[in-house]
C-alpha cells in the first residue's frame, strides 16, 4: 500500500529509523574522536551519511518493483559499512550498530526470498569478521588481545540483532494480518453493496411478481412500467402493449412528458406497419433526448414496445446488464400472459354464446313451438269453446309462456341446483308435466332415489339431454308415449329415453342438425357416451351414460 507521495507504507518506519540512527551515531562518533586525527574521520562520517542516503533513496524508488536493484544496494551497503566500521574502530565504532539497519532491510523486504534469514546470519558474520580484522590490523589501539568490553559489545550486538529479528518476524505477521483485515474489510464493503443491491432487487422482483395477481390489463401495464422505472429505466420509460393487428391496446409511461408519449405512439403506428420486424430502429430522439427501444416479441408478432430514456446508471455495467435481461424477460412473460388472457376471454365469450344458443335451442325454442301450436289449436276451436274453457286454455298458455321466460333466463345466467325450490327432480318433473299438458301425450318419469349425489354439471347435462329427447320425440317422432329412466350405478349414471314414434334412419340425419349435435357435445364434455338407436316405424331409444 502506497501513500500519496508514492512511498510504500512498509518502508516508512525503517527509512525513519535509518535516518535517525545515522544522525545519532555520527554525532556520537564526532564527540568521541581524537582531535589530532580529523580528516580520516570526516571522510568516514561523510561516507556513512552518503551511503545511508543513497541506500534509502534506492530502496524507496525500487521497492517492490525491482528486486535486483534492492539486492545490489544491500551488497554495496554491506561492503561500504564493513570498510567504514574497520576504519572507525571495529568494536569501538558507533557505526557497528548501524549494521542492524541492513539486517532489518533484509528481514523486512526479503529480497533473497527464502534465503533471507541465511543472508542475515551471513551479514552478522561479516560484521564480526570486520571487527576482528580491525583488531588484527591495530589501526586504532595497536595490536593487542580482545578486551572483555569488546566481547560484551559483540555479544550485545548479536543479542540486539536477534531481538530485532524476532521483532521483525512479529511485525511481518502483524502486517500480514493487517493486509488480510484490509482485504476482508474491502470484501465486506463489496458484499454489503451487493447485499443492498440484492435486497432492492428482490423487493422489486416481489413487487413485479404481484402483477400476476392483477386482472385489469391497464393496471398491469402501470404496475409493470412502475417496476421498470424503479429498476432499469430510472431516467424515464414508456411501455406499449400491442395486439395481433399491430395496434396499441394499452400504454403506460413514467418519468417522461405526455407529449413524448404521443410522439412514441405515432412513431409505433407508422413504423411497425411499414417495416419488417427484423429491421426496426433501436433508438429514437425526441426533443434532444435519446430513447432506446426494446421490442418484446413472440414467434409471430410484437407483443410490446418499451422506450427507455438513456442516461447514467447507478450500478456497475455488469449488474445493470443482468438486471435488464431479467426485467425484459419478465416483461415478455407478462405480455404473453396478457395475450393468453385476451384469447381466453375471447374463447370464454364465444363458448358462452354457443352455450346460450344451444340451451335456447334445446329448451326455449321447443317451449315456444308448443305454445305456438296450442295457440293455433285454440284459434281453430275458439268458436266451439265456452268462455270458461277459453279462460282455462289461456291460463295454461300464460303459465307456459312464464316457464319459457324462466328457462330463457336460466339459459343466459346458468341453471342453479343449490336450493330446495329448484331441485333437479322438481324441475324435470315440471318440464315433463308441461310437455304432457301442451301436447296431450303420456310421459313416464322414473328417477333414482340417490339422484341428489350428482354434481351440478351432471344434473345440467342430463336435464338438457332429456329435454331435447322429449322435444325430438314429440316434434319429429310424432310420439304419443315416452318412457324416461334415470339410474345411478357405482361409477356412472344412465339416462334411457324410449318413445313409440315413427323413428328415423340415422344415415339420413344431417350432420349439422343442432339438437343431436348438442347432445353429443354435452355428453362428450363430461367424458360420457351417447347412443341413439332408431328404426323407421319402431320408435327411438336414446341411452346416455356419464361418469359419476
Half-sphere exposure of 347 (CA within 13 A, CB side): 6
Compute the distance between CA of residue 191 and CA of residue 139 in angstroms, rounded to an integer: 67
Give CA torsion, residues 92, 93, 97, 100, to 10 deg: -110
Whole-angstrom distance, CA of residue 304 vs CA of residue 415: 41
The three-class DSSP label of residue 257 is coil
For residue 288, count other CB atoms closer than 10 A to its CB: 5
In a 13 Å sphere around the CA of 524, the CA atoms on its Cβ side amount to 6
- Strand (E) positions, 403-515? 442-447, 481-488, 492-499
- With the CA atoms of 27, 29, 34 and 39 taken in that order, what torsion angle do they form, in degrees rounded to the nearest 10? -80
Residues forming beta bridges with residue 241, ordered by sequence position? 250, 304
What is d(CA 361, CA 512) in angstroms, rounded to the nearest whole number? 14
Cell (9 digits) for 461: 347435462
Query: Spelled out in words, what is the top-level CATH class assigned to the domain 214-314?
Result: alpha beta
- So what CATH class is 421-548? alpha beta
In this structure, is the dihedral angle defined by the CA atoms of residues 505, 508, 514 and 517, taken in order, positive or negative? positive
Helical H segments across 33-109, by residue range: 39-62, 67-88, 99-109
Residues forming a β-bridge with 302: 297
The length of the chain in residues reads 548
SS3 string of 7-38?
CEHHHHHHHHHHHHHHHHHHHHHHHCCCCCCC
CATH 3.30.565.10 residue spans of the chain: 421-548
Give the cell for residue 415: 341453471
Give CA–CA dist 261/522, Å, rounded. Answer: 50
| Calpha distance 40→22 (Å, rounded) | 18
Question: What Rg do the C-alpha atoms of the chain give, in angstroms?
Answer: 53
At 289, phi and psi to the nearest 5?
Answer: -115, 130
Instruction: Tell me the three state secondary structure of residue 542.
Output: strand
Q: What is the mean pLDDT of each run of 10 residues along the chain (548 residues)?
A: 53 77 80 64 84 83 80 82 77 73 74 74 72 57 48 57 62 75 82 68 61 69 85 89 84 90 89 71 89 84 88 58 79 80 61 64 69 79 80 80 71 56 80 82 91 84 86 87 93 93 80 73 85 89 91
Q: In angstroms, rounded to a whole number, what is the distance separating the alpha carbons of residues 171 and 165?
A: 10
Sign of the dihedral defined by the CA atoms of residues 219, 225, 226, 228, in that order: positive
What is the pLDDT, as a whole number, of residue 3?
Answer: 46
Contact yes or no for 25/95 (Cβ under 8 A): yes
Cell of 173: 505477521
Non-local CB neighbours of 464 within 8 Å, separated by 6+ positions: 358, 359, 362, 363, 518, 519, 522
Amino acid at each position: 500500500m502506497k501513500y500519496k507521495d508514492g512511498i510504500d507504507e512498509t518502508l516508512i518506519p525503517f527509512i525513519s529509523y535509518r535516518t535517525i540512527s545515522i544522525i545519532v551515531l555520527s554525532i556520537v562518533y564526532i564527540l568521541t574522536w581524537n582531535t589530532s586525527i580529523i580528516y580520516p574521520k570526516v571522510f568516514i562520517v561523510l561516507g556513512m551519511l552518503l551511503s545511508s542516503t543513497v541506500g534509502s533513496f534506492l530502496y524507496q524508488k525500487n521497492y517492490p518493483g525491482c528486486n535486483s536493484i534492492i539486492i545490489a544496494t544491500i551488497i554495496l551497503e554491506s561492503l561500504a559499512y564493513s570498510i567504514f566500521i574497520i576504519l572507525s574502530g571495529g568494536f569501538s565504532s558507533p557505526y557497528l550498530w548501524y549494521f542492524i539497519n541492513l539486517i532489518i532491510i533484509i528481514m523486512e523486504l526479503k529480497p533473497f526470498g527464502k534465503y533471507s534469514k541465511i543472508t542475515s546470519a551471513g551479514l552478522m558474520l561479516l560484521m564480526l569478521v570486520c571487527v576482528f580484522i580491525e583488531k588484527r590490523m591495530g589501526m586504532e589501539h595497536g595490536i593487542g588481545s580482545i578486551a572483555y568490553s569488546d566481547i560484551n559489545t559483540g555479544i550485545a550486538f548479536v543479542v540486539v540483532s536477534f531481538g530485532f529479528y524476532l521483532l521483525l518476524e512479529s511485525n511481518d505477521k502483524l502486517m500480514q494480518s493487517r493486509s488480510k483485515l484490509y482485504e476482508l474489510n474491502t470484501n465486506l464493503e463489496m458484499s454489503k453493496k451487493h447485499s443492498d443491491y440484492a435486497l432492492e432487487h428482490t423487493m422489486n422482483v416481489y413487487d413485479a411478481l404481484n402483477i400476476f395477481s392483477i386482472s385489469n390489463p391497464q393496471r398491469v401495464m402501470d404496475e409493470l412500467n412502475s417496476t421498470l422505472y424503479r429498476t432499469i429505466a430510472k431516467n424515464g420509460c414508456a411501455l406499449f402493449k400491442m395486439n395481433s393487428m399491430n395496434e396499441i391496446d394499452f400504454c403506460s409511461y413514467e418519468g417522461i412528458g405526455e407529449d413524448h408519449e404521443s410522439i412514441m405512439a405515432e412513431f409505433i403506428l407508422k413504423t411497425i406497419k411499414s417495416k419488417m420486424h427484423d429491421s426496426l430502429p433501436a433508438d429514437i430522439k425526441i426533443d434532444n433526448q435519446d430513447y432506446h427501444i426494446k421490442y418484446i416479441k413472440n414467434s409471430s408478432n410484437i407483443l410490446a414496445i418499451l422506450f427507455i430514456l438513456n442516461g447514467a446508471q447507478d450500478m456497475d455495467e455488469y449488474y445493470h446488464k443482468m438486471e435488464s435481461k431479467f426485467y425484459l424477460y419478465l416483461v415478455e412473460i407478462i405480455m404473453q400472459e396478457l395475450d393468453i388472457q385476451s384469447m381466453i376471454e375471447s374463447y370464454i365469450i364465444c363458448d358462452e354464446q354457443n352455450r346460450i344458443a344451444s340451451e335456447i335451442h334445446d329448451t326455449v325454442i321447443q317451449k315456444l313451438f308448443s305454445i305456438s301450436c296450442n295457440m293455433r289449436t285454440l284459434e281453430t276451436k275458439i268458436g266451439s269453446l265456452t268462455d270458461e274453457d277459453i279462460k282455462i286454455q289461456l291460463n295454461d298458455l300464460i303459465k307456459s309462456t312464464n316457464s319459457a321466460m324462466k328457462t330463457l333466463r336460466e339459459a343466459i345466467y346458468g341453471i342453479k341446483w343449490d336450493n330446495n325450490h329448484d331441485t333437479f327432480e322438481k324441475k324435470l318433473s315440471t318440464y315433463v308435466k308441461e310437455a304432457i299438458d301442451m301436447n296431450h301425450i303420456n310421459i313416464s318419469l322414473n328417477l333414482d332415489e340417490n339422484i341428489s349425489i350428482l354434481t351440478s354439471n351432471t344434473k345440467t347435462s342430463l336435464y338438457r339431454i332429456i329435454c331435447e329427447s322429449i322435444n325430438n320425440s314429440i316434434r319429429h317422432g310424432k310420439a304419443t308415449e315416452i318412457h324416461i329412466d334415470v339410474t345411478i350405478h357405482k361409477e356412472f349414471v344412465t339416462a334411457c329415453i324410449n318413445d313409440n314414434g315413427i323413428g328415423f334412419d340415422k344415415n339420413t340425419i344431417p350432420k349439422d342438425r343442432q339438437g343431436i349435435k348438442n347432445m353429443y357435445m354435452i355428453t362428450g364434455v363430461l367424458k360420457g357416451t351417447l347412443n341413439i338407436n332408431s328404426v323407421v316405424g319402431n320408435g327411438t331409444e336414446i341411452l346416455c351414460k356419464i361418469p359419476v
